[in-house]
Structure 1
Amino acid sequence: MANAAAPDASAGTGDLPRHLQRWQRRLDDLAAHPERLRLVLHPVVDVAAGRVAGYEVLSRFAPVRGDAHGPEEWFAAARALGRAAELDALVLRAALPLRRRLPHGTFLTVNAAPSSLGEDRVLELLGAQDLTSLVVEVTEHTDCDAAALAGPLAVLRSRGARIALDDVGTGHSGLLRMAVVRPDVLKVDLQLVRGLDGDLVKRSVVRFLGECADRLDAWVIAEGVETPAELDVLRSMGVPLVQGFLLARPADRFAPLSLEARRLLGAAPAAPPGQQETPAATGRLARRTKTCRTVADAVRAASEDPAPVVVLDELDVPRVLVLPGERPGAEPRVREVASTLAPETAVPEAAARAVSRPAAVRFDPLVCTDATGRYVGVVGVEDVVLDLAAAHEGGGAARVAGAASGRGVPA
């Protein structure tokens, strides 16, 4: 997966061009003094809830021998020298302990190049620990065989991590990579967000990416939001998570939203014509069911009482759904919980998500979780349909599903 054009990291410094020789020395110096790396945290904002949903870890590098360079230059030089995995590992080693101080109900996002995820030093570092509440963001700076990512990403998902694709819509984060990786989060590139309030084509592309996210059961994060007009358009389109200087700048701590940001989010955007102002949330349809810690206990419970049973892990995150047999005396059906629904998801979006599932599970209950991923309840597909019918009879216009994922936050 590594870039074949990169020089061998073990090559002698004298064999490199002069500018790369300088970068080789800078990287050597950083490896010897990792304390010169500084991390800052850029909030990701849940626009519906008006709160910080997560924090992206960004790197800042101290000047070396009087030379100051931005993070883009550092990572570009590391790629050119075949040392991208080394630099990614150094950043990850500093970033992962931050999860111990992560505010309740938020997630932490870390970045890694596709080539780095195939390197043992990075994969072993990530795979050696529980990655719940961590989002691993696959950066788009280098091309790679998307299929080669499947193995490393499966390891990370098995440890509880969610996978994000960075800068979707530009660079190497194309449709093929999206189809193969099946990301949990799509980050819409800031070039598509910048000025989209006055650009119909950009809005159409963002809407299309939202439709892709719905089919993938993924979240959408819009990057680079800098004006109230951009924010209002994104909110009216149903984009749930945004990131940008308008609402928050990177800081050296887990900063909450400022009063000004909360004020901006307090004014609801105007809904496009033909859409209801405030779509009903699915969470009010959720009902709590019996829960167990093991599949065996859940199967016994579903056999004794024909009702859904949810298997929770030690953090109360739903992992398995056990359903009664389809006829009396039949064995209960065991389903892995592959995706969940946030309570604030609009009912039409929940309906669209339910019917887009494979036929064998299309009418299984939807599992609802809070912002931390903890179990809230199950929502019956029949309840969703009845609620839509009642809204139609009452004159409410259904919101167009697919404008963007409204699933909530990946905690």
Structure 2
Amino acid sequence: MQAGCTGCRSKADTFDIAMAFQPIVDAETGRPFAYEALVRGSNGEGAYDVLSQVTPENRYAFDQQCRVTAIELAVAAGIIDTGARLSINFLPNAVYSPVACIQLTLKTARATGFPPDRLIFEFTENEEMADTSHVKTIVETYRKMGFATAIDDFGAGHAGLGLLAKFQTDLIKLDMDLIRGVDTSLPRRMIIESVVRLCENLGITVIAEGIETVAEYEALRAIGVRYIQGYLLARPGFRTLPEITLPGGSIAAAA
């Protein structure tokens, strides 16, 4: 345990990174519910170029640096005035102690003036988890500290409904492969409807990601999905909060 916490604080491994921000849109208001921080190289290089440098030995430092960079750049881009939340991807396998490993994040939030209760921490179920009970502890600890958590890429990867049965996050993000073509696929529509109803009963907010067409957007809205993320509404803005273009061509201001 102690060695892991030392690794989290180590300055030996640093990454040349920045962030792009993509809004998660409240379709009922047209305004940003949150902005997801997406890792990029400092000159805009794609996520793969950065993530390919992450190893089991340096992922602790990488996770910590991503949290700090996301908060600092989001605040610099003007997120505080929008009222939106900030969603940060994290690596569950890089968290040894939920309380100890969150301290740098809290310090950064205080230094930048970002309200900690507007933080969302999302993890992908595509990452194989060594210990789901540990992930459950992280989720429960973060909730007690006032943070929200989300499962990204829900419907793909290692876990799916089995993971949701073990613990419940505040939000889930439906995987784009499940979303694609929902307007023309009855099985996809029925699956999404079932997940939405299930999450309503569990008190979990559903976000649909990867929306690219008006038809997909309208099908999801008909099902009852309120929160939408995808190129149809806004592409990620490198170091900026991009404008939101609603179906029909109207533009919603970020602030």
Q: TM class, shorter-chain normalised?
A: 0.7 to 0.9
Report deviation, 1:76: 4.7
Counterpart in 2 of 1:159? 145
Residue of structure 1 equivalent to 2:119: 134
Q: 1:176 to 1:99 in 2, by over 3 A?
A: farther
Which residue in the other structure is 2:112 paired with? none
Distance 1:228 1:193, change over 3 A: same
2:28 to 48, 53, 72: 48
Alignment of 1:212-227 (within 5 A): 212-227=198-213
Q: Which structure ranks higher in relative contact order (CA pairs < 8 Å, sequence separation ≥ 6)?
A: 2
- Residue 242 of structure 2: aligned partner: 255
Residue 242 of structure 1 pairs with residue 222 of structure 2: no
Q: Distance in 1 between the 2:243 and 2:89 partners?
A: 22
Q: Deviations over 1:97-123 (max 9, x none)?
A: 335842333111000022123357733
Give per-residue Cα distances to partners, 1:39-63, cap 9 Å, x unaligned: 1110111111122221000111147
| Equivalent position of 1:72 in the other structure | 48
- Partner in structure 2 of residue 203 of structure 1: 189
The AA in structure 2 aligned to 1:138 is F
Amino acid at match of 1:197: D
C-alpha contact (below 8 Å) 1:46/1:52 kept by paired residues = yes
Q: 1:149 to 1:187 in 2, by over 3 A?
A: same
CA distance, structure 2, for counterparts of residue 166 and residue 76 of structure 1 = 20
Q: SS in structure 2 opposite 1:263?
A: coil
Per the alignment, residue 4 of structure 2 pairs with: none
Asked if 1:125 corresponds to 2:101, the answer is no
| SS across alignment from 2:82 | coil
Deviation string 1:51-101 (CA, Å, 9 cap, x unpaired) is 2221000111147xxxx96313532541x4432222111111111233584
- The 2-side partners of 1:262 and 1:173 are apart by 33
Alignment match, 1:89? 64
1:99–1:162 distance in 2 versus 1, CA, 3 Å: farther
Aligned-pair identity (%): 28
- Between Structure 1 and Structure 2, the one with more strand by share is 2
What is the Cα deviation at residue 195 of structure 1? 1.0
8 Å contact kept, 1:193–1:223? yes
- Counterpart code for 1:95: A
The answer on 1:59 being equivalent to 2:39 is: yes
Deviations 1:355-381 (A, max 9, x none): xxxxxxxxxxxxxxxxxxxxxxxxxxx
Q: CA RMSD in A?
A: 2.8
CA positional deviation for 1:170: 0.4
What's 1:105 paired with? 83
Mark the CA change 1:210 to 1:71 in structure 2 (over 3 Å): closer, same or farther.
Answer: same
Q: Which whole-Å CA distance do the structure 2 matches of 1:118 and 1:230 have between them?
A: 40
Give the secondary-structure state (helix, strand or coil) at the position aligned to 2:117.
Answer: coil
Where in structure 1 do 4 or more consecutive aligned residues deviate above 4 Å?
127-130
Give the TM-score taking structure 2 as reference length. Answer: 0.80
**Contact kept? 2:41, 2:49, Cα under 8 Å:** no
Give me the whole-angstrom Cα distance separating, in 2, the residues matched to 1:119 and 1:73.
Answer: 28
Structure 1 residues 139 and 84: alpha-carbon distance in aligned structure 2, compared to 1, 3 A threshold: farther
Count of residues in Structure 1 that have an aligned counterpart in Structure 2 = 231
Contact 2:151 2:169 in 1 (8 A): yes
In structure 2, list runs of 5 or more residues that go unmatched. Answer: 2-6, 110-114
- Aligned partner letter, 2:198: C
Judge conservation of contact 2:23–2:35 (CA < 8 Å) in 1.
yes
Contact kept, 8 Å, 1:228 with 1:246, in 2: the verdict is yes
Secondary structure of 2:88's aligned partner: strand
Residues of 2 paired with 1:76 and 1:157: CA distance?
31
Mark the CA change 1:72 to 1:118 in structure 2 (over 3 Å): closer, same or farther.
farther
TM-score (norm 1): 0.51
Q: Residue 206 of structure 2 aligns to a residue in which SS?
A: strand
Contact 2:122 2:149 in 1 (8 A): yes
Alpha-carbon shift at residue 253 of structure 1 (Å): 1.6
Which residue in the other structure is 2:18 paired with?
A: 38
CA distance in 1, matches of 2:50, 2:159: 21
Whole-angstrom CA distance in 2 between matches of 1:147 and 1:156: 14
* Aligned mate of 1:183, from 165, 169, 188: 169
Query: Which ranges of structure 1 fall in alignment gaps of 5 or more residues?
Result: 2-8, 10-27, 267-411
Shift of 1:150: 2.4
